[in-house]
Structure formats: C-alpha cells, structure tokens
Chains A and B, each alone.
Chain A
Amino acid sequence: MRSTKRLPQFALLFLCICATGVTGAPPQKHLSVYSVAANYSLPVVQREGRDYVGLLELLEPLGKVSAKSDNRGWRLRYNNIEGDFQTGKPRARVQGHDADLGAKFLVENNRGLVPVSALTALLPRFLGGPATLHEASGRLFIGSVATHFTVSLTADNPPRLVFHFTSPVNPIVATEPGALRMTFSREPLVSPASPTLTFGSKTIPSANYTEDNGTATVTVNSTIPVIASFSSDGRTVTVSPTSAPAPARAQITNPSGPANPVTPPPAPGAPTVASSPPVTASRRYFAVVDASHGGDDYGETLSNTLLEKDVTVALARSLRQELESRGIPTLVLRDSDANLSVDQRAIFANADRAAIYVALHAASSGHGVRVYTALLPVGSDDRGPFRSWTTAQRGSLPISQHTANAIASEMQKRQIPVRTLSAPLRPLNNLSGAAIAVELAPQGSDSSQLTAPDYQQLVTSAVATAIAASRDQLGASQ
C-alpha cells in the first residue's frame, strides 16, 4: 500500500530523467584549427562570459612547445620564442613585446587559458605568420590553408550541380526531403563570395554555406531527391537526382561516398566485410596512413619521456607530406591523441576503399625499419560476396607483399637496415585492400633518434617513393 502511494513520485522522477536524457546537455564548443602541419579540434571553455582555449594544447601540434608555471607567472616556450603570462592580467609579453589579450589570462590545473578572441593577435607573435579566426563559428586558419570551392549547374535534364574544391574533401553527407547537406569538420573550407548561391533551376534552386561550432556546412536545396558522388580524388562533388526516391532521412558518414551503395561497414567484431566495390565506387584517398595507438593506448614506452603513440603521429604527418608531394591524396586516420580501436581503423580504411593502408609503429629494440604484411589467422569462410572479417586481407596479400618489398628496396637504396616479415598484427588482416605496417627502430641504440626529423623524413620519403612507384599496381588492385 505504502509503495503504491509512492508510485506517482517514482513515475515523475523517471519522466524527469528521461526528459533530461532526451534534451541532453548543450553541445561542447570546439575550436577547429587548420594548418599545414595538422588539422585538429580543441575544446573551448567559457569563463566570465568569454570563450577560452588552452594555449599549450593549441600550439602543441604545430611545433616544439613547453610550459612551466611558477610564482612569477606562466611561461610558454614555442620553438625558440618565449611568452610570459600573468594570471588575471590582460597583457602578456612575447619575445619582449607586449601583447594585448583583451581579457584576463587564466591558469587552471597548470593549463594556461587565453581568450579565443586574442588568438588573431597573439599567434602571429609565436608562429611568425598570419592567423585568421572565424570567431563566431570557432574556426582558426593558420597560414594560407583555406580550401575554396566553385559551383556550377550543368545543362543536362535534369541538371546536376558540380562543386569543384581546391583540395580533396571528405564531408559527412546527409540527405533529407528537400535538401542534401555536406558537413566539413576537417577541411579548411571557406565561404564563397556569397553564402547563398542561386541557380535558377526548378529542381536545384539554391545552395547555402554556413559555419557553426568548428564545422562548415553546404546545404543544397532541391525539389527532388538528390545524391552526391565524388570524383577527381575528392576534389569534385556532383549532386545529381536519384533515379529512385531517397530514404526519408538517410545519413552516410562519407568515406565511402553517398553514390556508392555499399553496405555500411561492419560493426566491430562483425564477421563479414563487403568484398568488392560496385562499378560506380570512387576513391578519394589513394593512401590511408594510420598513426597506431593513441589516447589510452600508449604503445611502447620508448623512453622516460617518449611514447610510441607520439612518434607515430609525427611519422604519419611526415608520410602524408611525402605522399602528397608525389601527388598521392592521403588521409591520416589519427592526427591527434584520439582513441581509435583497430576495428574502427579497419572500417575507415575499408569504407574509403583506399588503394593502400599504411600503419605506422615505432620500437626501441632492433635497428632500422621493419615492414610487415598480415599473418592471416584461422578464419571463417567467405560467404558469397562477403569476406570473413578476420581474413579480409587474403585477396590483397600478394599486392601488399609486393609493396612491402618495394619499400624494402627503397630503404636499402638509402642504406637503412630493413626486413620484411609477416606479423599477427591487427588490423592488417581485416583490410580488404593492400595493407602494410612500418615499424621504425633507431639506427643505433638511442631511442631519441626516433624523433629526429631527418631520420623520420628519410624513412617516410622511402615509403612514399615506393608507393608512388607501385601506384599503377595498387590502383588496379581494388
């Protein structure tokens, strides 16, 4: 009886909890940073009605940076440039010159926080180049990195809308009745001359460009269902009418491209992976470079101050630069200290249908470079058009081994000790395309050599040269 009386109270509490869950907390604000070295995102905190960001975290991916806090204030050193900040003071000194922050400098848990609005004035003092801030949308462009685009409507019936981008793009594409939306979270996309574009077409009358919370969005308004397809290595996106009505609200996380009716990538542990791309599938990144480990997974502790996960990120950036300088569009899977499971890595690479996947590792033991291909475990049988998840690599193993040998040959030309081996290393066995892992060890006994830019560049240039030389075979393999 007593419990029956309390039932309405429990019901009310339950409803409150449900309502809280449904409405949720407001989304975390982010600052997206675009630079030649890296594109990344940082959390923004609000203090005294202003947006603040950690200065050390902001500069960390761009160069060598350190900070220390003492009773005289908070001191930051970026490469050879020093900055002195005083808690609660709106001014700082950088290289002996005053810099106006516009609001108080704050220190929380030894993190130095600067107002986001001060970055345009403050960063050039450290970086020696311009920084452009889109403050309202939380987007920061360091140097000339912006990706521009043009749009044109074809004379076909029905017409198609063709976007040309100055760099490869990889947006999330969502369709809903009357609109197709492309969200660019990692690309430094900037607005065209006018944020609203009109085309004088009944089927695709207009498109809008907007920016918000670290992302840029292009919305194509249409009176008929449309889909987007990618070409020119991700530099061209064509929005065209579908022959069949689009689903009411279909969302496709696009590495695979919305024009590609591939089944969604398998959930982690799922037993199968789509075996071969449909004829219309288009590849936007030729190479996927994976900085192994990350987040809670440190990899090997190479020394008291050096973790494998940090070396692999630096190597990945170097390899991307080397590949792109050879005209090979490259996606770096982990460009920050993020947790990514091996299943997620395989799903990304498989969905992108990249011609080659390169996992990067570092080790303190041994000398030189080791190039690995998959050691296939005992797996279940392929079923029709689907391959076993654990042995998805089987069909591509010969081209993977060919590429590994080509890399070894390039290393030998540069007098770097090298071995090629098979290894029970995930996710190599889960990838349907060519897949290798490169493990970098010091040439001598000093692990600190792993962070030497010259050594890293020597190795990554050898890898990139070999991939470029195998481009035809790799491109034809998928």
Chain B
Amino acid sequence: MIARHLVIAMVVLLIAVLALSSYAWHMRKTAVLPSAATDTRPLAPPVAGPTEQVTLFVAHDDSGTLRAEEARIPLPSGRQQRAEELLQTLLSLYLDKSSPHTLGAAAEIRSVFLVDPGIAVIDMNSAFADTHRSGILVEELTVTSLIHTISANTPGVYKVKILVDGKERDTLAGHADLSSFYDIGAVNQVAAQLQGQ
C-alpha cells in the first residue's frame, strides 16, 4: 500500500513536468535563430570560366633541379590577376605535404604587381622567408621557380623584384639575394642550368 502523501507528490511532479515540456515546446517554435557572424572582408572574385594550360617550373630538392610541369587552371582575364593566380597555384604545390620542395606551411603570396614597362613585383608574406630553409641551392630553386614561372607565362616581363611583407629584404634565408631586381634573361639561363640543359 503506497502512502497517500507520496501519491499526491508524484501527481504534482508529473503535472509540473508536463507543464514545463509544453512551455519549452512553445518557446522553441517562437525562438529566432542567431544569424551567422558577418564576414566583412572583400572576397576575391571567383575564378571561373574555361581553364587554360600553363607551364609551372617546379623545384625538386632530391635532384636539385627545376622541372617544367603542364597544368590546366582557370585564370581570370586581368593580366595582374592571372600572374597572381599562377603563382598561387605554384605555391599550393609547395605547401602540399608530398611536395618535392616544401615551403613553410604559412607561406603566402600577398600580391603580385605588374608595372609597366615590364616589371613584376612579387610580394610574399614574412612566413615565406622566415620559415624558408637556408642554403644557396635550396633558396635559388625557390626564387628561380617563382620568377621563371611568372616570366614564362606572362609575356613582356623582363625584370622581377621580390618583396617580403611589402619591404625589401637582403636575402631569402641567408643566401639568395633579394635586394636587387632580377633580370629575366639571366634567370632564364639559371633555369636552363637547373633543368640540366
């Protein structure tokens, strides 16, 4: 035999549970979900449209060489944006874990400027230089890969300057000179040497 006062308590609790459930159901229906945080950063225009064939000059540390590799990538119509997209594609190869010539994970291209007559300025972020491995050959491979790729796919460029965080830097990682403008004719010769020609 259950005591009377316990039965009364059970009934009261059951009524309270039902009432609260009903209130919660009602509130859920009327609640307004918070909107996602608004990203105010400008977005790069999506690269769409037909793909184009480009030649990337990819560094390989094991053999200490540059190898020409064909790729089909969508390219924007603007000359400067094309150059930037081209180098972004090259950099993404180097950021892959299985890359034949790894760069620091945070390495980025900040921007590429094409200035008439025939000057290209590649602005890299500081992580690109700060995390780069030191050594004449390993630095030369990176520099030549970037410059030769941009000049081979962007007609009319004959001088290239590499900046780091928008500023001039003496060397990439203690060896390759970044203080001067690179002459495309001279870089072409180095690229030929590094391709074993």
Interface residues of A (CB under 8 A from B): 293, 297, 299-301, 308, 361, 363-366, 370, 372, 375-379, 390, 419, 421-426, 429, 437, 439
Q: Which single member of A365, A366, A390, A421 contacts B180 (CB below 8 Å)? A: A390
Give complex CA distance A439, B137 in Å: 9
Q: Which single member of A365, A377, A426 contacts B137 (CB below 8 Å)? A: A365
Residues of B within 8 Å of A, CB-based: how many?
A: 27
Residues in B with CB closer than 8 Å to A366 are 61, 64, 137
Indicate if the CB atoms of A424 and B177 lie closer than 8 Å.
yes
Indicate if the CB atoms of A422 and B189 lie closer than 8 Å.
yes
Most buried by A among B137, B140, B183, B187: B137
Closest to A363 in B: B135
Indicate if the CB atoms of A377 and B134 lie closer than 8 Å.
no
Indicate if the CB atoms of A437 and B136 lie closer than 8 Å.
yes
Indicate if the CB atoms of A421 and B193 lie closer than 8 Å.
yes
> Distance in Å from the Cβ of A416 to the closest Cβ of chain B?
15
Give complex CA distance A439, B140 in Å: 13
Give complex CA distance A426, B175 in Å: 8
Indicate if the CB atoms of A293 and B190 lie closer than 8 Å.
no
Interface residues of B (CB under 8 A from A): 61, 64, 133-138, 140, 143, 159, 171, 174-177, 179-183, 186-187, 189-190, 193-194
Given A299-B134, A300-B134, verify A419-B182 contact (CB < 8 Å).
Answer: no
Given A364-B135, A423-B140, A439-B136, verify A300-B174 contact (CB < 8 Å).
Answer: yes
Indicate if the CB atoms of B186 and A423 lie closer than 8 Å.
no
Given A421-B193, A421-B194, A422-B189, verify A301-B176 contact (CB < 8 Å).
Answer: no
What's the dominant secondary structure at chain B's contact region?
mixed
Residues in A with CB closer than 8 Å to B64 are 365-366, 419
Give complex CA distance A300, B171 in Å: 13
Indicate if the CB atoms of B181 and A372 lie closer than 8 Å.
no
Indicate if the CB atoms of B138 and A377 lie closer than 8 Å.
no
> Distance in Å from the Cβ of A35 to the closest Cβ of chain B?
30
Q: Which single member of A300, A361, A421 contacts B190 (CB below 8 Å)? A: A421
Could you list 15 A-B pairs, sorted by A, with CB under 8 Å? Answer: A299-B174, A300-B133, A361-B136, A363-B135, A363-B138, A365-B133, A365-B135, A365-B137, A375-B186, A376-B186, A422-B186, A422-B190, A423-B176, A424-B140, A439-B136
> Distance in Å from the Cβ of A467 to the closest Cβ of chain B?
20
Give complex CA distance A423, B140 in Å: 7
> Distance in Å from the Cβ of B4 to the closest Cβ of chain A?
82
Residues in A with CB closer than 8 Å to B61 are 365-366
> Distance in Å from the Cβ of B116 to the closest Cβ of chain A?
16
> Distance in Å from the Cβ of A268 to the closest Cβ of chain B?
11
Q: Which single member of A300, A376, A390, A421 contacts B135 (CB below 8 Å)? A: A300
Residues in B with CB closer than 8 Å to A377 are 177, 180-183, 186
Give complex CA distance A366, B135 in Å: 10
Residues in A with CB closer than 8 Å to B135 are 300, 361, 363-365, 439
> Distance in Å from the Cβ of A148 to the closest Cβ of chain B?
42
Given A421-B190, A421-B193, A422-B189, verify A297-B136 contact (CB < 8 Å).
Answer: no
> Distance in Å from the Cβ of A332 to the closest Cβ of chain B?
20
Most buried by A among B61, B134, B136, B140: B136
> Distance in Å from the Cβ of B34 to the closest Cβ of chain A?
50
| Shortest beta-carbon contacts, A-B, top 8 | A377-B180, A300-B134, A378-B181, A363-B135, A424-B177, A378-B183, A426-B177, A439-B136
> Distance in Å from the Cβ of B159 to the closest Cβ of chain A?
5
Residues in B with CB closer than 8 Å to A423 are 136-137, 140, 175-176, 190
Q: Which single member of B159, B175, B182 contacts A361 (CB below 8 Å)? A: B175
